[in-house]
Amino acid sequence: MNWLSKFFNQSDEEKRRYDTNDPTDRIRFRWGGRTQRELLHMRAHPTFHCPTKPADSMVLTEYCERMREMGMQLLRGISKSLGLEECYIENKMKLESGYNVFGPNYYPALSQSSDDKNQIGQFPHRDPGLLVLLAQNVGGGLQIEHQKKWLNADFPPSSIFVIVADHIEILTNGKYKSLLHRVALNSEVERMSLPFFFGPSLDVTVKPEPEFVDDHNPPSYRQMTYKAYLESNDHHVIEARANLNQIRL
């Protein structure tokens, strides 16, 4: 967290170095409008990219390596839970060259005015990829949708919250569901979240696999490469935007 705190507390001029629209970008910085949310997205695998300031970013490299190891183990467990070989998802999604993005978010403390109370810091959404591994510096903030109700997903800063993402749902033809979630801001404290987006290789065509399709369960999604999915609606590949509804059949 220390490196990220230093980055977000830098001058706006320094952070704007990464606020560009170059399609070759591997690092992107964004402001999030009224909530003053700040986002830093960094490509973490196959190669790791990081801003040059602050110095000493080795801790981020190690963190992303550990998150990648955790993601691989979780996906092996999911494969086994489906009655398949533990490397099934790993091989189908070509995870040796999987596209991973580390995307820290910074939410400043809000004023105590009535206009700021119960403000949504990030509106309901699902995420692309296979899994999102989420850490944060304070408890609270994350909410998940369950049976048309929003529930607080409270977990301590020392833990990792695992979110099932779009491409697990596509691959399993809906057997696993991508999690709808949002962020409700805490007006009293700063919040920093550290999502690690664990995705397939960019060139993999993701579709409902034969093991999950039969006469009673036809394909529910059209096939698309992971790169095309990320870039749909004119989004940059590193922005990690979901597009699940647009590929439903």
pLDDT at 111: 65
CB proximity list for 228: less than 8 A, separation 6 or greater: none
Q: One digit per residue, pLDDT tens: the chain, 249 residues?
A: 789 999 999 998 999 889 877 766 899 998 866 667 899 999 999 899 999 998 888 999 999 999 999 999 999 999 999 999 999 999 999 999 999 999 999 988 776 654 555 566 678 889 999 999 999 988 778 999 999 999 999 888 889 999 999 999 999 999 999 999 998 876 677 888 999 999 999 999 999 999 999 999 999 999 999 999 988 866 767 776 778 888 999
pLDDT at 49: 93
CATH topology of domain 27-110+119-246: Jelly Rolls (2.60.120)
pLDDT at 246: 86
> What backbone phi and psi angles, to 5 degrees, belong to 181?
-150, 170
Q: Is 22 exposed, middle or buried (0-12, 13-18, 19+ CB in 10 A)?
A: exposed
Residue 36 to residues 53, 107, 108, 135, Cα–Cα distance (Å): 21, 7, 7, 20
| 89 membership: H or E segment, kind and range | helix 88-92
**Paired tokens of 180:** 């709808």
DSSP class of residue 97 equals G
Of residues 148, 160, 171, 146, the one with CA closest to residue 221? 171
Asked if 54 and 6 touch (Cβ cutoff 8 Å), the reply is yes
Of residues 101, 54, 56, the one with CA closest to residue 200? 101
Residue 206 to residues 125, 170, 182, 201, 233, Cα–Cα distance (Å): 20, 7, 25, 10, 18
CA-to-CA distance for 224 and 211, rounded, in angstroms? 18
Residue 44 to residues 32, 48, 174, 210, 222, Cα–Cα distance (Å): 22, 4, 28, 31, 28
pLDDT at 108: 81
